[in-house]
């Protein structure tokens, strides 16, 4: 199964953009890239997902490399409430139930 | 309800006892998933239900773990003869369908502590 690689931690200043990277070099052609975030003592929360094209929603933007071997979650203006663990996962077209969540990136937002 | 509901939110049990964890998915969601999260770690896949298909049990760590789902509604995860290494947060998620183009909605989890 394809795995993802993320930095353990990142820091950002409030109201500045944040770019969270994810590598997935062994991704298959029909696997979707999903991002979730988890606040302390809560279950993960869906953020965004995509296949090939860049995606935007009210929470964030997802930039997917042309070869699909990496992606970047973009928070346009970080707030203190964005401090969380961010998980980049692959949802496999051949086995959509069995996604692997790594340790994610812990984002710290400084006021 | 509007979200995925899990109960109990916290459970403390003695080593060797059996426990049952419950998950109520979002109404109409055909796919349901159980994950386990140990302290400070990522999520570990346990089991996946999709409609009336046979569940994918490949993530269950031992035969002490089992899960059932009634139709497309409630699911119960049962751990028999609990061990201290079973202590973790057990997370349930559901999705509209089981395909890779559908996002998970997670519950808040059940924190299990085995003493």
pLDDT tens-digit map of B82-104 = 999 999 999 999 998 777 888 89
The mean pLDDT value for B12-16 works out to 98
What is the model's pLDDT at position A47?
97
Q: Residues 26..85 of B with a Cβ closer than 8 Å to A: which?
A: 31, 33, 35, 41-45, 48, 50, 56, 58-59
The mean pLDDT value for A66-79 works out to 96
* Strand boundaries in chain B, DSSP class E: 5-7, 10-13, 19-24, 31-37, 43-50, 65-69, 75-79, 88-95, 105-106, 110-114
Beta strand pairing call for B10-13 and B110-114: parallel
Q: Residues 3..42 of A with a Cβ closer than 8 Å to B: which?
A: 30-32, 34, 36, 41-42
Interface touch A49/B101, C-beta < 8 Å: yes
Tokens 């109404």, located at residue:
B27
- Which of B45, B104, B105 is the mutation pick for testing A, counting most A CBs within 10 A? B104
Q: CA-to-CA distance for A49 and A62, rounded, in angstroms?
A: 7
What is the model's pLDDT at position B70?
85
- What's the half-sphere exposure (Cβ side, CA atoms, 13 Å) at A26? 6
What is the model's pLDDT at position B72?
82
What is the model's pLDDT at position A17?
96
Q: What is the pLDDT of residues B49-65, one digit of tens each?
A: 998 888 999 999 999 99
B95 CA to centre of own chain: 14
The mean pLDDT value for A70-88 works out to 96
Ranking A6-10, A22-26, A105-109, B109-113 by mean pLDDT, the lowest is A22-26
In order of A57, B59, B77, the CA distances from A76 in angstroms are 11, 36, 39
Confidence of residue A94 (pLDDT cuts 50, 70, 90): low
SS3 B85: helix
Q: Please provide the size of chain A in residues.
A: 111
- B93 shares contact with chain A (CB less than 8 Å): yes
Nearest to B48 by CA among A93, A3, A98, A92: A98
User: Does residue A100 carry a pLDDT above 80?
Assistant: no
């Amino acid at each position: 199964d394809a795995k993802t690689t993320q930095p353990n931690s990142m820091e950002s200043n409030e109201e500045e953009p944040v770019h969270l990277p994810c590598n997935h070099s062994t991704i298959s052609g029909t696997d979707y890239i999903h991002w979730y975030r988890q606040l302390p003592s809560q279950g993960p929360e869906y953020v965004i997902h995509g296949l090939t094209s860049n995606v935007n929603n009210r929470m964030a933007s997802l930039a997917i490399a042309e070869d699909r071997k990496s992606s970047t979650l973009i928070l346009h203006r970080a707030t203190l409430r964005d401090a969380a663990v961010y998980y980049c996962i692959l949802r496999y077209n051949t086995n959509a139930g069995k996604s692997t969540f790594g340790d994610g990136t812990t984002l710290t937002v400084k006021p | 309800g509007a979200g995925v509901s899990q109960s109990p939110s916290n459970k403390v049990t003695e080593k060797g006892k059996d426990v049952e964890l419950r998950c109520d998915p979002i109404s109409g969601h055909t796919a349901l998933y159980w994950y386990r999260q140990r302290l400070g770690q990522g999520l570990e896949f346990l089991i996946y239900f999709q409609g009336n298909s046979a569940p994918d049990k490949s993530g269950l760590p031992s035969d002490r773990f089992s899960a059932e789902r009634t139709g497309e509604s409630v699911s119960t995860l049962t751990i028999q003869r609990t061990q201290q290494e079973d202590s973790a947060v057990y997370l349930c998620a559901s999705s509209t369908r089981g395909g890779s183009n559908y996002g998970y909605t997670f519950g808040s989890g059940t924190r299990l502590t085995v003493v």
